[in-house]
Amino acid sequence: MEAQIDEILKKNQLSVTGSRKRILELFLMSNGALAHGDIERKTGEKFDRVTVYRTLQTFLEKGIIHTIPTSDNSVLYALCKDDCTEGHHHDNHVHFICDKCGKTICLADVHVPQVKLPGGFLPQEYQMVVTGLCAECR
């Protein structure tokens, strides 16, 4: 894991610092989406809130993570797949958000079906979010 983290950071020409390593580690472990608040909590507020904002922003710009659309006003972040490049994501699996426990789960095996759009639209990214109850909460 340690090596993997370093590799990701170096591949994106980022300095390997404590906060970046820790936050990246959280994403690798969680195997799902994290909100800003999750990260603050899981790091035990060890890092300044501002640092978390800036780290997430940096990861976004480098294409290491991406945002996930949600119906409520929260912003979720999740790791990109390897074939994501700066500004171009291929995160084409479905996300499930549990109404009860609030957890967001990446359904890596469920692909987003490509729908046919009316003429004129130039689609770039398809995202699908399913809400309901997860296996543990139902």
Partner DNA sequence: GTTGGTGCAAAAATTTTGCAGGGTG
Partner DNA sequence: CACCCTGCAAAATTTTTGCACCAAC
User: Which residues of the shown chain bind DNA in the complex (CB under 7 A)?
Assistant: 10, 14-20, 36-37, 46-51, 53-55, 57-58, 73, 75
84: partner contacted, choices a copy of itself, DNA, none (Cβ within 5-8 A by kind): none
Query: What is the closest distance, in whole angstroms, from the C-beta atom of residue 13 to DNA in the complex?
Result: 8
Judged by beta carbon, residue 1 or residue 137, the one nearer a copy of itself is 137
- The Cα 116–Cα 138 span in angstroms is 33
Helix axes 49-62, 18-30, angle to 10 degrees: 70
Written as six digits, the tokens of 135 are 């296996």
Q: How far is CA 79 from CA 70, 100, 119, 131, in A?
A: 16, 23, 32, 20
Judged by beta carbon, residue 69 or residue 102, the one nearer a copy of itself is 69
Written as six digits, the tokens of 79 are 């790791």
129: partner contacted, choices a copy of itself, DNA, none (Cβ within 5-8 A by kind): a copy of itself
Footprint of a copy of itself (CB under 8 A): 66-73, 75, 94, 96, 99, 107, 109-113, 115-135, 138
Start-to-end Cα distance in the chain: 33
